[in-house]
Amino acid sequence: MSHYRIREAARLIGVSDDTIRRWVTQGLLEASVDEAGVQVIEGASLAGRAKQLAPVTGDDGPVLRSARNSFTGIVTRVDADGVVAVVEAQCGPHRLVSIMTREAVDELGLEVGSRATAIVKATNVIIETPRKDAA
């Protein structure tokens, strides 16, 4: 079973250390004490809380889509040269880059500071985790 120290748990779901402590006190997160006597958050409990806090994806609109990974943020860069454009968006802690046509940039009215949602549909998603024997 995975356990996370308070600071690491806070970073994983994008809240403050104090918020994690408050949620433990309120019974919204399960915590225990590790062998070093430090309070740790139960991984499964943290995962459940993260899902509860996840924003609604907007799938109740007029369009249905198979993609489940949508990230809303702000456009931080638009490089449109010739036919191709590179659009970069900062979506919370995630930086996403999209290559599209310049025509699409113009039609969407994308410019630095625009609000945008990146929708990701990938056939391959790579997941990595720290080695158990890593210090």
How far is 68 from 60, CA to CA, in rounded Å? 13
Domains in the chain (CATH in brackets) are 3-53 (1.10.1660.10), 69-120 (2.40.50.100)
* Confidence (pTM): 0.60
Q: What is the pLDDT of residue 24?
A: 96
How far is 16 from 4, CA to CA, in rounded Å? 14
What is the Cβ-side half-sphere exposure of residue 17, based on CA atoms within 13 angstroms? Answer: 6
How far is 63 from 122, CA to CA, in rounded Å? 19
Show pLDDT as tens, one digit a residue, over the chain (135 residues): 689 999 999 988 888 999 999 999 999 999 999 999 999 999 989 988 888 887 665 556 666 677 778 888 889 999 999 999 999 998 877 889 999 999 999 999 999 988 888 888 877 777 788 777 765
The 10s digit of each residue's pLDDT in 75-103 is 999 999 999 999 999 887 788 999 999 99
Number of H helices, E strands in the chain: 4, 7
